[in-house]
Homo-oligomer: A and B are copies of this chain.
């Protein structure tokens, strides 16, 4: 079986294991206070053009999102999110377990929030009826880049979100679990310095972009992350051997490996998307990143599912179902060519 169902089915880029092995017997302080974490923090600040940013390393995505929200929100405040947002759908209520309501907003298939939606929510909260204290106060805007459906915000869209957040005193937070794929997608005008300039906090995802595990959190607004290390510890996210995180981000970022492998995964995903288009499969949601979403009939899927695994994304009562095809740093080009050929063969004769 060849797996195209997700981007976390393998270990890590070999360079990372080499780095862990070569430093294994060194003694360093724990909890992220080691030289490797310091170097990785410095490097991230430099890449972001944000010399004063706070950089923290956590283990996983749900953890880093919940920890940020716990630090940024007071008890009566909530987070605006797309209804399809990961924090709303697939983190088992981690924000709510921390006491914070997710204020979910509907979106199109791309899964993107617009500045106008945020504006409307804030106006309704402060100017509507009943008085605001009967409702949860919006304080964070959560978006994913790419979104859960692989779509990308443009720089203009991020700037508009930044502006509305500024008007209403909200923090803008970007979940970058797959940020590498987003930053290397063809035609994007969003880069790390733009994120650092426009967001109050954002993550640079490692787990799905070549690391064994790990998410780097960049906090550019100190108000949003005051006493942040307390929250990491309280939330179970302070790795005793914190250097494992610093070492991985150093390995990924110090010579651009992060971007190289993500760009390559995007290109492989392009090959799959082309094959789907040639086969006449309808696209479920447009994506230029490593996740692609197409509709397959039951019969079409039956012809692939012996050899390949995908993620079932949405399954309507009848008609074709949406599947996610996913590549990663570890996807073999040969496997992609084989799958592309088998997809093309689905084309009605």
B129 touches A230 (CB 8 A): no
Q: Which of B97, B136, B227 lies in contact with A93, CB distance below 8 A?
A: B136
Q: How far is the CB of A314 from chain B (nearest CB, A)?
A: 9
Which of A20, A75, A238, A312: most chain B CB closer than 10 A? A75
Q: By the criterion CB–CB under 8 Å, are A241 and B92 in contact?
A: no
Q: A10-B26, A129-B312, A240-B60 known; A234 and B76 CB under 8 Å?
A: yes
Contact across chains for B136 and A227 when beta carbons are under 8 A apart: no
Interface flags for A30-67 (1: CB within 8 Å of B; 0: not) read: 11000000000000000000000000000111111011
**In this complex, which of A12, A100, A233, A312 has the most chain B Cβ atoms within 10 angstroms of its Cβ?**
A233
Stoichiometry, copies per complex: 4
Instruction: Report A16-27 CB contacts with B as 1/0, cut-off 8 Å.
Output: 010011011111
Report whether B25 and A330 are in contact in the complex, using a CB–CB cutoff of 8 Å: yes
Question: In the bound complex, do residue B93 and residue A101 qualify as a contact, i.e. CB atoms below 8 Å apart?
Answer: yes
Q: Of all chain B residues, which has the CB nearest A229?
A: B133
Is A8 in the interface zone, CB < 8 Å from B?
Answer: yes
The answer to whether A24 and B30 have CB atoms under 8 Å apart is no
User: Of B14, B27, B330, which one neighbours A3 at CB under 8 angstroms?
Assistant: B27
CA distance A91 to B78 in the complex (A): 13
Q: How far is the CA of A31 from the CA of B62 in the complex (A)?
A: 13
Residues on B with beta carbons closer than 8 Å to the beta carbon of A348? none
Stretch in A183-191, A206-214, A267-275, A284-292 with 4+ CB within 8 Å of B = A206-214
Q: Contacts A60-B240, A129-B311, A236-B237: A90 and B134 contacting too (C-beta < 8 A)?
A: yes
Assuming A14-B24, A74-B227, is B9 touching A234 (CB within 8 A)? Answer: no
CB of B66 within 8 A of CB of A75, answer no
Q: Classify chain A's interface size.
A: 35 or more
- How far apart are the CA atoms of A232 and B136 in the complex, in Å? 12
B129 touches A231 (CB 8 A): no
A28 at the B interface (CB under 8 A): yes
Contact present for B241 and A133 (CB under 8 Å): no
Q: Are B78 and A234 in contact (CB under 8 A)?
A: no
Within 8 A of B (CB), among A111-163: 128-137
Task: Flag if B238 contacts A62 (CB, 8 Å).
Answer: yes
Q: Is A89 an interface residue (CB 8 A)?
A: yes
Residue pair A236, B235 in contact (C-beta under 8 Å): yes
Contact of A30 (CB < 8 Å), options: B9, B89, B244: B9
Do residues A20 and B17 form an inter-chain contact, with CB atoms below 8 A? Answer: yes
**Does the CB pair A136–B96 fall under 8 Å?**
yes
30 residue pairs of the A-B complex, CB under 8 angstroms, read A1-B27, A2-B27, A9-B29, A11-B23, A11-B24, A12-B24, A17-B20, A60-B236, A62-B233, A62-B234, A62-B236, A62-B238, A66-B236, A70-B97, A74-B227, A75-B231, A76-B231, A78-B96, A90-B130, A90-B134, A91-B134, A92-B230, A92-B233, A92-B234, A94-B234, A95-B96, A97-B98, A129-B313, A213-B240, A213-B244
Residues of A within 8 A of B (CB): 1-3, 6, 8-12, 14, 17, 20-21, 23-31, 59-64, 66-67, 70-71, 74-76, 78, 89-102, 104, 128-137, 207-208, 212-213, 226-227, 229-241, 244, 311-313, 315, 330
Q: Top 9 A-B pairs ranked by shortest CB distance?
A: A63-B236, A11-B24, A76-B230, A92-B234, A133-B229, A93-B136, A93-B101, A96-B101, A9-B27
